[in-house]
Amino acid sequence: MSIKVQSKDVADIENILTLNPKIKPHASLVPSSETKVNKKHWKRNQDKKCNSCDPLLNNFDDVKHTTLSERGALREANRCLKCADAPCQKSCPTQLDVKSFIGSIATKNFYGAAKAIFSDNPLGLTCGMVCPTSDLCVGSCNLYASEEGAINIGGLQHFATDIFMQMKIPQVRPPHIVADDESYATKVALIGCGPASVSCATFLARLGYKNLTIFEKEKFIGGLSSSEIPQYRLPIEVVQYEIELMKDLGVKIENERKLSMSDITIQKLKNEKYGAIFVGIGLPNPKRVHPFENLTEEMGFFTSKDFLPKVSLASKPGMCKCTGKALPQLSGNVIVLGAGDTAFDCATSALRCGASRVYVVFRKGFTNIRAVPEEMELAREEKCEFLPFLGPHEVHLKNGRVSAITFFRTEVNEEGEFVEDYEQTMKLRANYIICAFGSGLYDEDVKAALAPLNFNKYGLPDLNVKTMETTVPGIFCGGDIAGVAETTVEAVNDGKTAAWHMHKYIQAQHGKEVSRIPELPKFYTPIDEVDISVELCGMKFVNPFGLASATPCTSSAMIRRAFEAGWGFAVTKTFSLDKDIVTNVSPRIIRGSTSGHNYGPGQGAFLNIELISEKTAAYWCQSVSELKKDFPDKILIASIMCSYNSKDWTELAKMAELAGADALELNLSCPHGMGERGMGLACGQDPVLVRNICRWVREATKIPFFAKLTPNVTNIVDIAKAAQEGNADGVTATNTLSGLMGLKGNGDPWPGVGNEKRTTYGGVSGNAIRPVALRAVSAIARALPGFPILATGGIDSAESSMQFLSCGASVLQVKSHNH
Give the catalytic positions in this structure. 670
Give me the torsion for CA of 374, 375, 380, 381, rounded to 10°. 60
Tally of residues, the chain: 819
Count the neighbouring beta carbons within 10 Å of the beta carbon of residue 33: 8
> DSSP 3-state assignment of 795?
coil
Q: Tell me the C-alpha distance between 782 and 779, whole Å.
A: 5
- DSSP per-residue string spanning 439-477: EE---HHHHHHTTT--B-TTSSB-EETTTTEESSTTEEE
Contact 670, 608 (CB under 8 A): no
Q: What region does 334 belong to: left with phi over 0, alpha with psi -120 to 50, or beta?
A: beta
Pairing of strands 569-571, 589-591: unpaired
Angle at 264 between CA 261 and CA 268, to 5 degrees: 90
Q: Tell me the C-alpha distance between 721 and 723, whole Å.
A: 5
CA distance to 196, 201, 377, 587, per residue, from 750 (Å): 56, 58, 47, 9
3-state secondary structure labels for all residues of 723-737: HHHCCCCEEEECCCE
Could you tell me which residues are beta bridge partners of residue 255?
216
Which of 198, 190, 244 lies closest to 214 in space, CA to CA? 190
Q: Tell me the C-alpha distance between 138 and 352, whole Å.
A: 30
Q: Is 238 exposed, middle or buried (0-12, 13-18, 19+ CB in 10 A)?
A: buried
Q: Tell me the C-alpha distance between 665 and 637, whole Å.
A: 7
> DSSP 3-state assignment of 412?
strand
CA distance to 172, 203, 209, 526, 798, per residue, from 529 (Å): 10, 20, 21, 5, 18
Contact 191, 264 (CB under 8 A): yes
Q: Tell me the C-alpha distance between 199 and 205, whole Å.
A: 10
CA atoms within 13 A on the CB side of 156: 33
Contact 360, 385 (CB under 8 A): yes
Contact 814, 795 (CB under 8 A): yes
Q: Tell me the C-alpha distance between 757 and 658, whole Å.
A: 43
Could you tell me which residues are beta bridge partners of residue 386?
360
Q: Tell me the C-alpha distance between 577 and 554, whole Å.
A: 17
Task: Return the DSSP state at 360.
Answer: E
Q: Tell me the C-alpha distance between 106 and 160, whole Å.
A: 11
Give me the torsion for CA of 536, 109, 127, 460, rounded to 10°. 20
Return all residues near 50 (Cβ < 8 A) that are at least 6 apart. none
Expressed in angstroms, the distance from the first to the final Cα of the chain is 68
Residue type for position 463: L
Return all residues near 366 (Cβ < 8 A) that are at least 6 apart. 386, 388
CA distance to 231, 483, 643, 769, per residue, from 736 (Å): 53, 59, 19, 8
